[in-house]
Each structure stands twice: as structure tokens, then as C-alpha cells.
Chains A and B, each alone.
Chain A
Amino acid sequence: MTATIVPPDTIEAEPARRTAQPIPTSRLVKVELRKMFNTRSGFWMLISIGVLSPISAGSLLVFGLNSDVTYQNFVRASGFPMSVILPIIAILAVTGEWSQRSGLTTFTLVPSRGRVIGAKAIATLLVGLGAVSVAFAVGALGNLAGSALAGVDTAWDVSLSMALQMVLYNLVGMAFGFALGVVLRNSAAAIVGYFVASLVMPGILALLAQVRSGFEDLQPWIDWHYTQVALLDGATNTVKEWAMLGSTTTIWIVLPLVFWLLSLRRSEVK
């Protein structure tokens, strides 16, 4: 049954429509950046990066041997806390909208879900680049201080290729967290999923590779952790190695995101 209301004293004057400008993407990115750090958890993750990175680099100063005093080691040390925290920041940037249900407001203010997720992806990338720059800067300071304290020559042993791979290592880690967040849309599930994929799964795949000789050749093509370690070590050099990275990235990041794109349009934001 349908019905239409026809009240006797309707006010006919329709309010004049304002010519609203579409929301520019730059503004969305700015808003998403703010949202990553204006919650209690986001704030403390930012603080923990700022605090843990120097502590980690500092511990190398205190406990490291003279031979450890190299730029590579300091960058690794200051970057280590980030490699754990950055993916979680990426996860929460997405899942918060569902787990905390703030998506109800977000997606009514910006109905295009693709644009919101795109803005989140750009914001995540910016945070990743910023954090990695901090890791390189803290590492440089540590290296200067360490070589001065130990009285050895300051060793700047990070090549451009290695530096790029270290940056990529963090960005791929964040991208994986982001994809998990987008697919699972639940903070707890995505964080557990991330640690299963980065801590539990590599062990199982390594074991599998030992037991089945045929799997050994296949592993680098499907083991996300394997190519991550290669990036961290700056050991992704040949075309084949880059192809392996491309393969694991496609399996773990690109395919889930595409799947999400297909499912998102009609999904309900509850």
C-alpha cells in the first residue's frame, strides 16, 4: 500500500538550493590524517613511534659492539618499532569506521565509499613515508653519536637501493594491514589476522618447504613474509626477486582489495 501526504497548508516555497561545491580529495586526505591520530589509541601509537624509535636506536648505542656502529644497523633499530606499529595504524584507520561505527557519520558526509577509502590509503601512505623518514633521521643521529662515542669512523653503509627497499618494506607492511582492514572491517580480527600472517604463517610455510621439496621453489612466490624479509635485507635485486615481490603483493594485497571493491558498493554500513 502506498500513500501520499497532501496537507492543506503546505508551504510551497522550496528552500533555494545552495550551490555546494564537491568535497575536494585533498580535504578528505587531511581529515583522514587527523582521524588517524585524534583517538586515544591513534594518539598513543603516534607517541609510541616517537618514543620507541629513539629508544630502540639508543639501545644499540648502549649494548652494541663497536663493529655494530653502522648506519644500516641504526636505521634498522630505529625502524623496528615502526614495522610493528605502522601496519596497526593502517588497520585501525580503516576498521575504526566499522568497529567503532563512526562510518555511519563518515559515509553520510561523504557517500562515495571509494573516495573515503582512497583518502585513507593516501593518508596511510603519507604516514608511512613520514615515519620512515623519522627512522632514517633517528638512525643518522644514532650513527653520528655512536661513532663519536666508540671513536670509529662513521659508516654510511646504506645504498640508495637498500634505502628504497627499506621504505618499501614498511609501505608493503602497511598496505597489507590496510587490505586486511578493508576486507575484515573489524579491528580485532584484522590485527589478529596481521600477526597470524606475519608470525604464524611463515613458520608453517617454512616447515612445509622443508617437508615437501617441491614447495621450496614455490614458497618465495606465495610467502608474503619471505619477500618482506628480502626487502628488509635489501636483497631484492634481480628481476626474478622483484617478480616474487610482485606475486606475493598481488596475492596478499591487490586481490583482497579488488574483492573488496566488488563487494563494497552494495554492502551496508551498520
Chain B
Amino acid sequence: MITVESLTRRYAGFTAVDNVSFTALPGRVTGFLGPNGAGKSTTMRVMVGLTAPTSGTATINGERFANLPNPGLEVGVLLDASAQHAGRTGREILTVAADTMGLPRTRVEEMIELVSLTPTEAKRRVRNYSLGMRQRLGIATALLGDPKVLILDEPANGLDPAGIRWMRDLLTNFASQGGTVLLSSHLLHEIEVIADDLVVIGNGKIVAAGSKEELLVAAGTLARSTSPRDLAHALEQAGIPSTLASDGSVRTDADPARVGAVALTAGIALTDLRSAEGAGLEDMFLSLTADTQREGVAA
């Protein structure tokens, strides 16, 4: 379990993380979302002791990271796959990490196999690795000590589609065995598929947190009908505001059950009725972080 309490990190003249509190629970994958520069990475860096907080605390299973006797065995960390000595081979980087944690060398070979690096690739120097290969190596380093908590910053970055699928299965399995996963990503679709809980951060502040279902229900319903105008009218009659898109879909904040009921009473045949999920997370993300977006997107 990861607990962040009233965490604040100030730099000269600006606050990167502003009174952030949240919990990432065991058995669940917690997605950490936010625009560039929102404070995700700083929060994660404070969790693992690389950055000192100005105030507040971050604990792993109730303990400050710096107080863990052998942190690699308890927390797997991947903050930046490119942060490796370019002159070392992939295998050597894992060997050094395994030696530091006091693990047998056989663990290195197991990890190389687990992340699907070929023996030839493992012998190459990291300088010659692609971003995807570096990510795999970083994940191998994080998993080396068989930890119960994972903190991953943008782990899907640079992975090929098969790699992304593999990572998704890996993290889901990890969580289903009682592990805690905190993962940040810009790939909203990825997060939407994999995360159980979401924490959205913008300008250093938490703008939303909760289970994915809770947050996405708030994103509303998308319905289609052969006569969209009638549907929109019926909804309005029932006191449900809705918007009629040019493609003939009707969007509303009400939940699907209510929209279905309204359509039934009005005698309108629906051709499509669902939680506005597909675009839901993206819409939610953009609207929640609208004030903090560089592009000034109005959701």
C-alpha cells in the first residue's frame, strides 16, 4: 500500500506538488494521470526518496522509503528507463541491482527471460537499446527483487503493441496476487483498460480520485436512436439536459438506465446505449485538467 499525505514540494517560486493526498491500495492498479508538468513524476520521486518533500509524507506499507532496510525487495521502481549507464550491458545492469539486493544471479536470467530480451540483446550495451528495450530492462530491474509494490512512471512509453499487451497482463496479474501498482501514463486508453482506481492531478493538485467506475459514471451516457432529435426532446421533457452531436449521438450526464427508461416511455427505439466510456476518460481528463492544459482545451 502506498499512502501519500498532504505532500507538498515547492521549488523557488513555484509549487510542483501542492498538498496531495491519496492512497494506492493492494490488489489494485492505481492509474496516476495528469498533463505534462502536473507533478506526477515529482510525487513519485518523493515516494522513493529521490526528492525531499517540502512538507507532508509518503509511505510504503506505513514506512518511509528511506527507512526500508532493503527497498528493492519491497518496492519495484521504474521512473525513467533512460536513466541507466549507457556503457553497461543490460545483463550487467541487472547483475549490479541483484548484487545490491543480495539476490542470486539466477534471478537475472529469469528477469531477462520474463521481459523477453534475447540473450544477444542482454549482452549489448544500453547505449544501443531502443526506448522499448530500455523500458523492458527497467521493468526487469523493478521486478528483480520480487516486490509487493510497484511504482512505474510511464512504463508503456516506447513499447510495441505486443509489449503493451504483455505489460497490461503483467500488471493485472501482479495486482490480482495482492500487489500494489501505481502507474502514471499519458496513454489514457491504456490506463482505462488497466486501472482499477484513478488519481488525476493538475497543476500539482489532485482534481479527482476514485475508482474508475465512479469517475467514469460521472462522464455520462451516450445514446443513439433512429430519431435523435426526438430522443433529445424526450430527455429534455424528463428534465435531463443533453447535447445532440452532429453524428446523431446524444450525450448526457445521466446514467444509462435512466436514459433507457426515458426512451422507453417516449416510445423511442434506441440503437445504442452505453456509458460514454470510450471517450469518457479522455473527456473527463480534459475537463478536469482544463485549467491546467497548455493548449487551453475547453472540454
Within 8 A of B (CB), among A7-37: 7-8, 10-11, 13-15, 17-18, 20-23, 27-28, 30-31, 34-35
Taking the closest CB of chain B, its distance from the CB of A114, in whole angstroms, is 11
* Pairwise interchain contact A100-B71, C-beta atoms closer than 8 A: no
Q: Which B residues are in CB contact (< 8 Å) with A110?
A: 71, 100
Interface centre among A15, A21, A23, A105 (most CB of B within 10 A): A105
Within 8 A of A (CB), among B55-104: 61, 65-66, 68-75, 77, 79-80, 82-88, 92-93, 95-97, 99-102
* Pairwise interchain contact A112-B66, C-beta atoms closer than 8 A: yes
User: A11: nearest residue on chain B (CB-CB)?
Assistant: B27
**Taking A18-B73, A39-B88 as contacts, is the C-beta distance between A109 and B101 under 8 angstroms?**
yes
- In the complex the two chains form, what is the Cα distance from A31 to B98 in whole Å? 10
Identify whether the interface residues of A are mostly helix, strand, loop, or mixed.
Answer: loop
Q: Which A residues are in CB contact (< 8 Å) with B72?
A: 108-109
Identify whether the interface residues of B are mostly helix, strand, loop, or mixed.
Answer: mixed
User: B77: nearest residue on chain A (CB-CB)?
Assistant: A108
- In the complex the two chains form, what is the Cα distance from A120 to B86 in whole Å? 20
Set B84, B87, B99, B205: member contacting A27, Cβ < 8 A:
B99
B251, CB-defined interface residue at 8 Å: no
**Taking A15-B148, A40-B125, A100-B87 as contacts, is the C-beta distance between A5 and B61 under 8 angstroms?**
no
Q: Which B residues are in CB contact (< 8 Å) with A17?
A: 61, 74
Q: Which A residues are in CB contact (< 8 Å) with B80?
A: 101, 104
A67, CB-defined interface residue at 8 Å: no
User: A8: nearest residue on chain B (CB-CB)?
Assistant: B211
* Pairwise interchain contact A109-B100, C-beta atoms closer than 8 A: yes
Q: Which A residues are in CB contact (< 8 Å) with B220?
A: none
A111, CB-defined interface residue at 8 Å: yes
Stretch of A121-129, A203-211, A228-236, A261-269 contacting B (4+ beta carbons < 8 Å): A261-269
Q: Which B residues are in CB contact (< 8 Å) with A34?
A: 95-96, 99
Q: Which A residues are in CB contact (< 8 Å) with B26?
A: 11, 13-15
Q: Determine the interface band of chain B, counting residues with CB < 8 A from chain A.
A: 35 or more
Q: Which A residues are in CB contact (< 8 Å) with B1?
A: 14
Set A13, A39, A265: member contacting B52, Cβ < 8 A:
A265
Stretch of B14-22, B226-234, B267-275 contacting A (4+ beta carbons < 8 Å): B14-22
**Taking A14-B1, A28-B100, A30-B99 as contacts, is the C-beta distance between A7 and B196 under 8 angstroms?**
yes
* Pairwise interchain contact B61-A23, C-beta atoms closer than 8 A: no
A96, CB-defined interface residue at 8 Å: yes
* Pairwise interchain contact B50-A4, C-beta atoms closer than 8 A: no
Q: Which B residues are in CB contact (< 8 Å) with A104?
A: 50, 79-80, 83
Q: Which B residues are in CB contact (< 8 Å) with A31?
A: 96, 99-100
* Pairwise interchain contact B68-A5, C-beta atoms closer than 8 A: no
* Pairwise interchain contact A107-B19, C-beta atoms closer than 8 A: no
- In the complex the two chains form, what is the Cα distance from A192 to B93 in whole Å? 28
* Pairwise interchain contact A108-B102, C-beta atoms closer than 8 A: no
Interface 0/1 of B129-172, CB less than 8 Å to A:
00000000000010000001000000000000000000000000
* Pairwise interchain contact A101-B83, C-beta atoms closer than 8 A: yes
Set B69, B85, B197: member contacting A100, Cβ < 8 A:
B85
B178, CB-defined interface residue at 8 Å: yes
Taking the closest CB of chain A, its distance from the CB of B288, in whole angstroms, is 11
B116, CB-defined interface residue at 8 Å: no
- In the complex the two chains form, what is the Cα distance from A110 to B101 in whole Å? 9
Taking the closest CB of chain B, its distance from the CB of A100, in whole angstroms, is 4
User: B48: nearest residue on chain A (CB-CB)?
Assistant: A108
B23, CB-defined interface residue at 8 Å: yes
* Pairwise interchain contact B83-A5, C-beta atoms closer than 8 A: no
* Pairwise interchain contact B49-A108, C-beta atoms closer than 8 A: yes
Q: Which B residues are in CB contact (< 8 Å) with A2?
A: 6, 19-22, 206
Interface 0/1 of A230-270, CB less than 8 Å to B:
00000000000000000000000000000000000110110
For this complex, 14 residue pairs linking A to B, each with C-beta atoms less than 8 Å apart, are A2-B21, A3-B21, A4-B23, A10-B27, A10-B28, A11-B26, A11-B178, A14-B61, A15-B178, A23-B101, A30-B99, A105-B93, A109-B71, A268-B50
Name 10 extra pairs, CB < 8 A, besides A11-B26, A107-B50.
A10-B27, A14-B1, A27-B102, A38-B96, A101-B82, A105-B83, A108-B49, A108-B77, A111-B48, A111-B68
Instruction: List A residues at the B interface (Cβ < 8 Å).
Output: 1-5, 7-8, 10-11, 13-15, 17-18, 20-23, 27-28, 30-31, 34-35, 38-42, 96, 100-112, 265-266, 268-269
